[in-house]
Structure 1
Amino acid sequence: MPPHPATPQTARAINDRAALALFAARGALTAGQLQESTGLARPTVTELLGRLGSAGLIEQIGEIGADRRGPNARLYALAGRRACVAGIDARTDIVYLAVIDLTGRAVAERAAAIPSGTPAAAALDTVTAALAEAVRGGESGPLHSVSIGVPGLINPVSGRVRPVAAEAGWHAELAHAVRERTGLDAAAVTLDNEVNLAGIAEHRVIGPRGSDSFGLLWLGTAGVGASLILDGVLRRGASGGAGELGFLAVPGAGPQVGRTDCTGGLFDLVGPAAVARLADAHGVAPDAFEHPAFRAELSARIALGAAAFALVVDPGLVVLGGELGRAGGALLAAAVERRLAAVCPVPTSVRTTAVPGNPILTGAVATALDRARAALWP
């Protein structure tokens, strides 16, 4: 078939989206700066700014140029109050929430405790009430999208949760409860494995630096897991089980008892209780990474999980995340890299996480913001 040239409507949509992406990446811009960055003609930029302003996607926030002759240049930016999005990091005993506006500006954060033994209905009420309070208290626009991170294997097609021991009973119902209480549709509220969201957050930081493929090995206080980013894309697997390294049967971890917990898996070697026992055996604190013997034995255990990445998918880089990975820092990462090189023929670098704060929450709000912008932008 002969090629079809773009229609004026298609060209306008492409230009509008390119301009919005620039505003998102660089912040406020004048018409002249936008023209310089896009290469569009001045009349085209003027029309574009008018369209985006009428659609409520950008707004004038001020002027610049008071120190030069001639009229001031108007300064435009994304209209943050057009919509807001939320991210939720749901642990077994506490939930962290963050709300950001369409510019990516933080609007509100909340933490809600879920004591052990709390009935499912009460837990869901606590979370949804905290979400409503965060949205209302932040004086933001209407809630558009919510991304939720929970432990467990989440089928990427059906969205169903396959429970694991680290998951609370109410986790599987959380997305439904949020949809019901907010009135959002199914596509606007998504559920994902929490370490997958941490992997997305990691890629937002190190991807622009050239690390488009890596395995994130999550060494957390609640569990051990992983996420896999290849060529900039999160790989979930056919059933959502890609990266569940906590279940990986390893020598010395003991017999495996069941398929819904990590007993007998890597978790029994590098989980918090196992690390505490190892530290006690060496007569040091669990964060005494400067102790050579403790660090050597711990790094040998972690290298077993890193080797699974290296030998199966060869990402070239393993990132140590979670509370243990962050606390170990460059000292532990270097020790794991040396141990990995000794047992694995595939060259693999090991680094500590580059994401500050809560990576799960960061990944959750990032994915929610992506969906909102995709829906609201031309």
Structure 2
Amino acid sequence: MPASPSTARAINDRLALRLLQRQGPLTAGQLKQLTGLSRPTVADLVERLTAAGLIAVVGEAGAQRRGPNARLYGIVADRAHLAALDVRTESVSVVVSDLLGGVLVEASAPIGGEAGTGPAVEQAVALVERAVKEAGVERLHTVGIGAPGLIDPATGELRPTTGLPAWHRRLVDALQERLPHTRVSVENETNLAAVAEQREGAARGRDTFVLLWLGQGTGAAVVLDGALRRGASGGTGEIGFLPVPGTGGLPSATDCAGGFHSLVGAAAVRDLAAACGVAGRDTTLGAEQLVRYAVRTVTGAGPAGPARRDGTAADDGAAGAAGRFLDALADRVALGVASAVALLDPGCVVLGGEVGRAGGWTLAARVAERIGRMTPLPTEVRASALGGAAVLRGALLTARDRAQDELFGRRER
């Protein structure tokens, strides 16, 4: 059954807008060539989209060309404005952008949850309001939030989770109350990191992969056949609860202690570094810093010089300690990776989060070597290209998609 004229116009408009989004400004002739539409049809859609305020003339193509056929049309970036938040246990980061994702303002601040839920929420909302004001934006169209914890697949709301501050859930409601005309949505932070890594990072070109988040917390995101999988209760990827050997116990329904998190969470990584003698007596370094120090040391970029692999006494120094630490960490990480590979056969696992980014290809190579011995399924292990910044970037990409989907679909037919 052929499409009605109004449906055909909507399809053509969306096609043109997607091309302008991906390739930047184009002439009407270029739109005709790329869409395969007739010249009159392209002229009509350009007129329609211009009247809707979605595209505008942004220049001319070629120094020698003049006139209507040389006009370059581009999406009007300030047609709508977006914000993205990365909500951590004790901090919030925010970015404000235009409709194309061009960043206008970035800001972050610690959030003192010890002062109580109300003051913590007010601090976070105030940070967003200051960023919006600094960007000179009157109204936000969409806000995307990345937060730890489970997202209820039926309601899209952040579920109460033991161990996470109460102000996280209250923040979503508070932003919606303060911004009544803005679309506010929340997504699990690891899922958003996977979105960013797939589009702009280490998983580009992969329709199926697993992102293993290694940071203060532990999690995983699963992308199968191009789709992000959330599970029946929103808990796909809660790998911190995975029972593994070497923890001395089992996780419970309310506590992942005894699970995979007990081996690779930030506290466990710091303890492992201390046991291996990494960084001497400096107890101020966090897990990310310790891993980065170890990588620099074994690769010859740090103060200890090149690592010695011939079994001589030099292995008892800083390079030897760093190497033992990274090997032991890779042993632990490989347990979680092997479990994901056995169940999903993703073909690619990205080590994300702050620790995954700090370990880089040095840690990824060690994990890959172990996986090659643990499973017959061919699996590439990649280092994150975005690290801790992936959550904020994923939240912004998701907010941009939602805003564009709505704006590009709301036109007179």
TM range (shorter): over 0.9
Q: Secondary structure at the match of 1:87?
A: strand
* Residues 11-30 of structure 1: CA deviation (Å, up to 9, x unaligned): 11111100000110011112
Q: Does the CA contact (< 8 Å) of 2:350 and 2:384 recur in 1?
A: yes
**CA, structure 1 residues 261+144, in 2 after alignment: closer, same or farther (shift >3 Å)?**
same
Q: CA deviation at 1:141?
A: 6.3
Cα separation, partners in 2 of 1:278 and 1:305, compared to 1, 3 Å: same
Could you tell which deviates more after superposition, 95-104 or 114-123? 114-123
2:24 paired residue among 11, 27, 33: 27
In the alignment of these two chains, the number of paired residues is 372
**8 Å CA contact retained: 2:85, 2:94:** yes
Name the CA shift for 1:71/1:101 in 2 (closer, same or farther; >3 Å). Answer: closer
Paired residue type of 1:305: G
Check if 1:194 corresponds to 2:225: no
RMSD of aligned C-alpha atoms? 2.0
**What SS does the aligned partner of 1:62 have?**
strand
What pairs with 1:1-378 in structure 2 (closer than 5 Å)? Answer: 4-68=1-65, 73-140=70-137, 142-184=139-181, 188-205=183-200, 209-220=204-215, 222-256=216-250, 258-285=252-279, 286-287=290-291, 288-289=294-295, 290=298, 291-355=322-386, 358-378=389-409
Mark the CA change 1:154 to 1:71 in structure 2 (over 3 Å): closer, same or farther.
closer
Aligned-partner residue type, residue 297 of structure 1: A
Kindly state the Cα deviation for residue 357 of structure 1 after the two structures are TM-superposed: 6.4
- Tell me which amino acid in the other structure corresponds to 2:368: E
> What is the alpha-carbon distance in structure 2 between the residues aligned to residue 49 and residue 126 of structure 1?
44
- Answer whether contact 1:96 1:111 (CA < 8 A) is retained: yes
SS in 1 for 2:244: coil
Counterpart secondary structure, 1:161 = coil
Give 1:345 shift. Answer: 2.7
Deviation of residue 353 (structure 1)? Answer: 1.2
Once the two structures are superposed, residues 307-350 of structure 1 have per-residue CA deviations (whole angstroms, 9 ceiling, x without a partner) of 12101111111110011100111111011011112122322111
Q: Judging changes above 3 Å, is the alpha-carbon distance between structure 1 residues 258 and 73 closer, same or farther for their aligned structure 2 residues?
A: same
TM-score, normalised on structure 1? 0.93
Aligned equivalents of 1:292, 1:184: Cα separation in 2: 54
SS in 2 for 1:46: helix
Residue 167 of structure 1 aligns to a residue in which SS?
A: coil
Distance in 1 separating the partners of 2:251 and 2:186? 28
Question: CA separation of 1:40/1:71 partners in 2, compared to 1, >3 Å: closer, same or farther?
Answer: closer
Aligned partner of residue 96 in structure 1, secondary structure: strand
Shift in CA distance, 71/251, structure 1 to aligned 2, threshold 3 Å: closer
1:178 to 1:116, Cα distance in 2 relative to 1, 3 A: closer
8 Å contact kept, 2:197–2:204: no
Native 8 Å contact 1:97 1:361 kept in 2: yes
Q: TM-score w.r.t. structure 2 length?
A: 0.85
Query: Greater shift after overlay, 211-220 or 345-354?
Result: 345-354
Contact kept, 8 Å, 1:84 with 1:101, in 2: the verdict is yes
Distance 1:39 1:72, change over 3 A: closer
After superposition, the C-alpha distances for 1:125-162 in whole angstroms (9 at most, x for unaligned) are: 22222222222322346311111111111211123433
Contact 1:316 1:349 in 2 (8 A): yes
- Counterpart-to-counterpart distance in 2, 1:111 and 1:209: 28
Structure 1 residue 184: Cα displacement = 3.3
Partners of 2:48 and 2:136 lie apart in 1 by 25
The runs of 5 or more residues in structure 2 that have no matched partner are 280-289, 299-321
Report the Cα distance in structure 2 between the residues aligned to 1:239 and 1:264, rounded to whole angstroms: 22
Q: Secondary structure at the match of 1:127?
A: helix
1:181-240 deviation line (CA, Å, top 9, x unaligned): 00036xx211211111111111213698431111100001x2011111101111011001
Instruction: Give identity over the alignment, percent.
Output: 50
* More deviation, 66-75/347-356: 66-75
Deviation at 1:166? 4.9
Superposition deviation, residue 293 in structure 1: 2.1
For the residues of structure 2 that align with 1:325 and 1:119, how far apart are their CA atoms?
Answer: 32
Task: Look up the equivalent residue of 2:214 and give its one-letter code.
Answer: L
In structure 2, the CA distance between the partners of 1:71 and 1:83, relative to structure 1 (3 Å rule), is closer
- Are the counterparts in 2 of residues 219 and 320 from structure 1 also a CA contact under 8 Å? yes
Work out the CA distance in 1 between the residues paired with 2:162 and 2:265: 13
Distance 1:70 1:271, change over 3 A: closer
In 2, Cα distance between equivalents of 1:172 and 1:61 = 42
CA apart distance, 1:72 = 7.4
CA-CA distance at 1:241 after TM superposition:
0.8
The alpha-carbon deviation at position 115 of structure 1 amounts to 2.1
Q: CA deviation at 1:257?
A: 6.1
Shift in alpha-carbon separation, 1:267–1:305, aligned structure 2, 3 A: same
Q: CA deviation at 1:9?
A: 1.2
Compute the displacement of 1:87 (Å).
1.0
Q: Give the gaps of 5 or more residues in structure 1.
A: none
